[in-house]
Homo-oligomer: A and B are copies of this chain.
Amino acid sequence: VSRERLVVIGADAGGMTSASQARKRRGAESLEIVALDRGRYASYSACGIPYWIGGLVGSVDALLARTVDEFRKQDIEVRLRQEAVGLDLDAGVVTVHDHETGGDYALGFDQLVLGTGAVPVRPDIAGFDAPGVYGVQTLDDGEAVRAAVAADGASRAVVVGGGYIGLEMAEAFVERGLEVTVVEAAPQPMSTLDPDVGALVAEAVRDLGITLHSDEQVTEIRTGAGGEAIGVVTAEREIPADVVVLGLGVRPNTALARDAGVKIGVTGGIVTDKRMRTASHRNVWAAGDCVQTVNRVSSVPVHVPLGTHANKQGRVVGINIGGGYATFPGVVGTAVTRVCSLEVARTGLREAEAEQAGLRFVSTLTESTTRAGYFPGARPITIKMIAEKRSGRLLGAQIVGEEGAAKRIDVLATAIWNEMTVEEVSGLDLSYAPPFAPVWDPVLIAARRSWDAVELDVRADYTPQP
């Protein structure tokens, strides 16, 4: 067999996991691996950036999963500050711009992995590209925010957007002792939750001392004499700011792939088959925040930029390039976050998603505690459950609580994965001891309530109307 070359575009979770897995199955004599990245770092935990900014993680080194040297020992060549700017899939050639020398060069490939990740959403409003307005997607972003926070007199931070990243950044600024304001356009923060659960989050966030303006659109970033951001303007008010962070979410970074003729889906992400192969070319693969996947509950295409999916997809790509067989099974939409002592998690479909999928459902909200009520450290937990009408199939769940609450979402993600009914969930053999749960775990109580609601709903359907 002749030696092939694998080129990986984007040296982060999706791309580098692909590279490592391919290497495990094919030695350097069979496969040369070159990974390109436009940034200064390879393979880091982007999810850890807010904690680095907040100071919970002391050093940037902690976020680096593997260094370029470590990859070299695996016979994987990582070229940093080398940006793929052109792609000819039929010819099998990437055009690379070298940010160090300023020159371009061509790099041929036999196999290609697109791991181009995501880019922050930047709305088209005056001042959004001003100095002093930061994203938090890359370590370079993180360094810039750290410097801004450390600057003389920095005391007021404004976070635009109250989703996962926005709230994590709010925590980071609280940790740093800044006065923090979050501005969210929707009526509640965390638009991936139902509004009633979002309202619980809003209340808890405000109790933490964070100012939250929801239902308020940012109309402008006010800039100072030097063109730098000095405040955030909404229809209601102007909020002075020493640091402005964008927490508006991200979109798949697919310009390069799209221009090269790779099929892009309705979510803006790259379309692949189950083995993570693109539709257009059998030797072109994709993984991570740039791809589109499917929600197993609704069967709807979704874009879910999360490190854990990027790793799983990269592994699938690498095994397949390595000559093995692996598939990515899709997602059920599980996510978790923490804001100081507050824990928030979700899985499956929220109400709006269930409606879009044409499903009818019954919702319940259940309060309990994370440990036996009498046990030290018992904390509040609220579980929302969404069960399909009639069948009682669990469609979605959301959790808001304190320490020990959020990780319980995994049980519900597993239940949804297996298409369990809430009645079945209420019978699950979950672990019990006073330091870990009440004698009825909150998950079991919530499932019981949900099943009761499903039964009441059935009864209502069969009760003759006057």
Contacts and interface: CB of A to CB of B under 8 A. Distances in A.
**How many monomers of this protein are in the complex?**
2
Contacts of A336: 431-433, 436
A430 B410 contact: yes
A149 to B, nearest CB: 19
Given A57-B374, A375-B56, A439-B311, A429 B332 contact: yes
Nearest to A437: B407
Contact of A374 (B48, B333, B334): B48
B414 A418 contact: yes
Interface string A169-188: 00000000000000000000
A71 interface: no
A86 interface: no
A91 to B, nearest CB: 35
A431 B414 contact: no
A441 interface: yes
Nearest to A439: B307
Nearest to A13: B439
Nearest to A416: B429
Contact of A411 (B164, B308, B411, B444): B411
Given A13-B439, A427-B329, A308 B418 contact: no
Interface residues of A, number: 64
Contact of A435 (B338, B374, B437): B338
B434 A311 contact: no
A191 interface: no
A417 B428 CA distance: 8
A328 B423 CA distance: 11
A317 interface: no
A78 interface: no
A407 B430 CA distance: 9
A431 B410 contact: yes
B345 A308 contact: no
A45 B431 contact: no
Interface string A320-359: 0000000011011111111000000101000000000000
B406 A428 contact: no
B431 A63 contact: no
A192 to B, nearest CB: 12
A458 interface: no
A372 interface: yes
Contacts of A440: 308, 311
Contact of A334 (B164, B376, B415, B431): B431
Contact of A413 (B56, B168, B345, B430): B430
Given A418-B418, A439-B45, A427 B308 contact: no
Contact of A428 (B57, B372, B376, B413): B413
B441 A308 contact: yes
A430 B47 contact: no
A385 B115 CA distance: 32
28 contacts: A45-B374, A45-B439, A47-B434, A56-B376, A57-B375, A57-B434, A62-B373, A62-B374, A63-B374, A307-B432, A308-B440, A309-B429, A312-B427, A328-B427, A329-B424, A329-B427, A334-B429, A334-B430, A334-B431, A335-B433, A338-B436, A347-B431, A406-B431, A407-B436, A408-B410, A414-B414, A414-B418, A418-B420
Interface of A: 13, 45, 47-48, 51, 56-57, 62-63, 164, 168, 306-309, 311-312, 328-329, 331-338, 345, 347, 372-376, 404, 406-411, 413-415, 417-418, 420, 424, 427-437, 439-441, 443-444
Given A51-B375, A311-B440, 13 more contacts: A45-B374, A57-B375, A307-B432, A309-B429, A312-B427, A328-B427, A331-B429, A335-B433, A336-B436, A337-B433, A406-B436, A409-B431, A413-B430
